[in-house]
Chains A and B, each alone.
Chain A
């Protein structure tokens, strides 16, 4: 194949006539404005010049006549491809004497490590948690920039020129009495979402989460009493009663949100995700506001709407058929992710200062994140003692985390970090924010921003490391969030599963990129590694090289054991012993074709893998399910593997799309395939249900057609509630008998 392919693709990438017409209309409007304002010289009239030009050929200037002809590039088949599943074991019965208790129990950390003693704490942290605000409450929300916010303002105003990390200077107490944290009291009622009850088909299964007992927001949620489906700006509340399943109520978020105030020009997003807890439904919506000030720099340009705040809108759904609005709590930024633990909701947003021209040094509300209670009436800048600075961030973007008590609908606390939330993981005691960093090892010349990252602190690996991850630990402290530590590790994370806290230590699996040689003889390196960090996020133990020239595809920690799948050509599964945090060791390594993108602990020491299938040459074709025997991590075995003849699945990117019920032997997920002709593209999507049995292996029990809209798959989730199986998306809810998978009912939602 020659580079003819680029010409072919190039020819297809053209603006549509409709788009050209839209631009034409916008330009005409601009010109009309200008004309009415002052000089009427440039008024557009008559036939659209854009429309007339739309059939013209590619501009001749795109290939300069004097330019040398470039070389032909060809496509060659890749040599081969297999991946590795590594088990990183952080202690197990195999190394029993090293472990205190329950190492294999993923729920063990909760008992083992209470928040207060989980990590060593420095003295400032201890003071911060115990002392009430020391400063007199300030009535006015105006805080001068020369005051406590001077540093963060300096950072943002001069982005990218941050040089310090973690608020050493921000020691003053919180200034806003009305946002002072509530006394941190443990909520009385804990959610049972996600817990499968013993016995046959009673209770329900919730969202498939990373940590048992910590719920994650999603587009479809259930509390066993109702199924809540996000459908545009509405939430459909479905009464899940088998064949009689029906929609019992619809919540219209537009009734309450900014759309009600068109004068302000605000518009709100669709329902992004939801959480449900103890008769309360929390709905997350981001509001956007048109930009009123044009950006100053020549190389930036006008973007019509900026994300201003994300709202947690709380409804009483104790009677699902009659939901009642309770409260709305907002915070700056676009929705990132949420967690729910022990009745406390943690909301993470990403807030970028899109419009530098709007910064007023005298008004912190123009450059620090805000929180609001009940609509926009009370906007409060986050206190300077709750804002930290993460080195090396290229753009002025904050991670904003707040904690809300669901029962009282009161905000318990908030914390913010100047840095992007590229990956977020929450344990029982801490929220971890991972922010990606990169520098150019080819030139060896770092920008001022890149120099802020302490690259020299990374281990010497025999090659120049080009990527790193800045980690921030925010202590939950019952909702009184406090940034507690920061640290840097080499490499980047594949997803949130690459982080896991156990027994007071954070384990992080990364793929380190870099290069050897100089510009005349340059060889790229890619090296999976594993680090164990203490409470100060300092590395105390590591495996700097799991394998050479591969990259991590998936990670799962299960108590003291860690599993890592890497891939270049074969899929090795590594078992790593993390029983001694200071000396993690690879226990075993298994090479199989293809690679898993998601792993889930099964029963009896088995491990389920879901991912891409490949032949021994590494040519990927479709998907596969695998079951590994990891009961003896020193002797990993692949027990069964089943090809799934579909191209791709949401489940390979998002763990929440996987339904796993090891007790029943069921694993289920959506999947889709493309088909092509010369001129058309078609998509088919299905929901697949498999049963695993030690003797029979994987058996496909069902394959149910899913809706396809505009050649797009519709995100789908599934739950078991009592003896029925519900497959839900914004278009419909399909009900099946969980045992026989016989279809019982279909409810259309739109």
Chain B
């Protein structure tokens, strides 16, 4: 993995204490978990697992960008495990009584819900790339470096993912570039 200096601040390693890492990245990890699981309960589990894993492993990460990449890939992998099969047959939440009805995360507006639902239905490869690009504001090169993909592949997945979103959005409406 290589990340160039112009793409991210390469400042000195920030505090690696778990609580400090949680404070810096809790929103990012939660967003990725939610996008990749769609259910609030599953996202909660992923969120907890990711930071517990970090806490237990205390991975040797050389710099903030590597820490961030580790968290992103770990979250995506963990979410994949949770949603590999239907959630209710795959993983039991901390509290089994929560299993009954998965609580779909809801946004403030219908359009936001729809966008999120369409995003959630994409194959994971597209979902991850679209999420990182639109919600985490990462550049194509950054995404490529983090996911260990070619930049061309990331561009393709962005383009293809937007195309898939377009067909899924029931209200109609699609991404375009100006």
A 1-36 to B, binary, CB cutoff 8 A, 1 in contact else 0: 101011011101111100110110011001000000
Whether the Cβ atoms of B108 and A710 lie closer than 8 Å is no
Alpha-carbon gap, A709 to B101, bound state (A): 8
18 contacts between A and B (CB under 8 A): A5-B111, A9-B135, A27-B51, A30-B52, A49-B19, A56-B23, A67-B138, A74-B175, A75-B174, A294-B56, A298-B59, A299-B74, A302-B52, A335-B89, A442-B156, A443-B150, A443-B156, A617-B172
Give the chain A neighbours of B135 by CB distance below 8 A. 6, 9-10, 13
Instruction: Decide if B89 touches A15 in the complex (CB within 8 Å).
Output: no
Residues 105-141 of B, flagged 1 when their CB comes within 8 A of A and 0 if not, give: 1111111110110000001000000000111111100
A-B contact count (CB 8 A): 257
* Whole-angstrom CA separation of A281 from B36 in the bound complex: 37
Q: Does A53 contact B (CB under 8 A)?
A: yes
Q: Which residue of B lies closest to A72 (CB)?
A: B178
Q: Kindly list 10 other residue pairs between chains A and B, CB separation below 8 angstroms, not including A302-B49, A350-B89, A397-B84.
A: A1-B111, A14-B27, A14-B30, A23-B22, A61-B24, A66-B5, A76-B176, A267-B96, A522-B159, A709-B101
A270:B99 contact, CB within 8 angstroms: yes
- Taking the closest CB of chain A, its distance from the CB of B72, in whole angstroms, is 10
Question: Would B19 and A44 count as touching, CB distance under 8 A?
Answer: yes
For B173, the chain A residues whose CB sits under 8 A away are: 1, 75-78
Report whether A5 and B139 are in contact in the complex, using a CB–CB cutoff of 8 Å: no
Q: Is the CB of A298 within 8 A of B57?
A: yes
Residues of chain B within 8 A of A676, CB atoms compared: 108-110
A residues 165-197 with Cβ under 8 Å of B?
none
Please give the residue numbers on chain B whose beta carbons come within 8 Å of chain A beta carbons, in ascending order. 5-9, 18-19, 22-31, 34-35, 44-45, 47-53, 55-57, 59, 64, 68, 70, 73-74, 77-78, 81-82, 84-86, 88-92, 94, 96, 99-113, 115-116, 123, 133-139, 142, 150, 152-153, 156-157, 159-160, 163, 166-167, 169-178
In angstroms, Cα B59 to Cα A619, docked, is 49
Instruction: Write the A88-110 contact mask toward B (1 if CB under 8 angstroms, else 0).
Output: 00000000000000000000000
Identify B26's interface contact among A8, A53, A354, CB under 8 A. Answer: A53
Residue of A nearest to B173 (CB): A75
CB distance from A657 to the nearest CB of B (A): 16
The closest CB in chain B to the CB of A440 belongs to B153
Sorting the interface of chain A by its residue count into under 10, 10 to 19, 20 to 34 or 35 or more gives 35 or more
Q: Is A749 interfacial (CB-CB < 8 Å)?
A: no
Interface SS of B by simple majority: helix
Contact of A519 with B152 at beta-carbon distance under 8 Å, contacts A67-B139, A77-B172 already known: yes
A341 within 8 A of B: no
Q: Is A59 an interface residue (CB 8 A)?
A: yes
Scan residues 400-431 of chain A and give those whose CB is less than 8 A from a CB of chain B. none
Kindly list the 7 A-B residue pairs having the minimum CB-CB distance in the complex, ordered from nearest.
A78-B172, A442-B156, A301-B53, A53-B23, A334-B89, A620-B170, A15-B30
The segment from A303-311, A501-509, A529-537, A574-582 found at the interface with B is A303-311
Q: In the complex, what's the smallest C-beta–C-beta distance from A16 to chain B, in angstroms?
A: 8
A residues whose Cβ falls under 8 Å from a Cβ of B? 1, 3, 5-6, 8-10, 12-16, 19-20, 22-23, 26-27, 30, 44, 49-50, 53-54, 56, 58-59, 61-68, 70-78, 81, 232, 267, 269-270, 272, 286, 288, 294, 298-305, 307, 334-336, 350, 352, 354, 395, 397, 438, 440, 442-443, 519, 522, 524, 551, 568, 612, 617-620, 674, 676, 678-679, 681, 709-712, 714, 730
Cα distance, A334 to B87, chains bound together (Å): 10
In the complex, A524→B27 CA distance in Å? Answer: 34
Q: Which of A288, A301, A335, A678 contacts B77 (CB 8 A)?
A: A301
Contacts of B70 in A (CB 8 A): 298-299
Inter-chain contact A307/B112, CB cutoff 8 Å: no
Q: When the two chains form their complex, are residues B89 and A272 in contact, meaning their CB atoms are under 8 A apart? A: yes
**Does the CB pair B74–A551 fall under 8 Å?**
no
- Chain B residues contacting A66 (CB-CB under 8 Å) are 5-9
Contact yes or no, B156 A522, CB < 8 A: yes
CB contacts (< 8 Å) of B57 on chain A: these are 298
**The residue from B7, B26, B92 contacting A269, defined by CB atoms under 8 A apart:** B92
Chain A: minimal CB distance from B139 (Å):
5
Contact of B19 among A50, A78, A519 (CB under 8 A): A50
- Across-interface contacts of A67 in B (CB, < 8 A): 6-8, 137-139, 142
A71 touches B137 (CB 8 A): no
- A-side contacts of B103, CB under 8 Å: 710-712
Report if A620-B172 is in contact (Cβ < 8 Å); known contacts: A56-B23, A72-B178, A443-B150.
yes
Nearest opposing residue in chain A for B78, CB measure: A301
Q: Complex formed: what's the CA distance from A352 to B51 in Å?
A: 24
Query: How far apart are the CA atoms of A49 and B86 in the complex, in Å?
Result: 34
**Given known contacts A15-B27, A75-B173, A522-B159, is B78 in contact with A303 (CB within 8 Å)?**
yes
A65 B9 Cβ-Cβ under 8 A: yes
**Bound Cα distance A551, B142 (Å):** 33
A303 contacts B77, CB within 8 Å?
Answer: no
| Residues in A neighbouring B102, C-beta threshold 8 A | 712
Contact at A712–B31, with CB atoms within 8 Å? no
CB-CB under 8 A from B49, the residues of chain A are 301-304
Known contacts A13-B34, A50-B22, A288-B92: does B176 contact A8 (CB below 8 Å)?
Answer: no
CB neighbours (8 Å) of A299 from chain B are 70, 73-74, 77
Given contacts A5-B111, A64-B7, contact A305 B26 (CB under 8 A): no
A712 to B104, CA, bound (A): 8
Q: Are A618 and B175 in contact (CB under 8 A)?
A: no
Alpha-carbon separation in the docked complex, A3 to B48 (Å)? 29
Q: Which of B29, B100, B116, B159 contacts A270 (CB 8 A)?
A: B100
A71 and B137 alpha carbons, distance in the complex (Å): 11
Whether the Cβ atoms of A334 and B55 lie closer than 8 Å is no
Q: Say yes or no: A9-B160 contact (C-beta < 8 A), given A62-B28, A301-B49.
A: no
Given contacts A303-B81, A442-B152, A50 and B23 within 8 Å (CB-CB): yes
- CB-CB under 8 A from B150, the residues of chain A are 443
Chain B residues with CB under 8 Å of A75's CB are 173-175
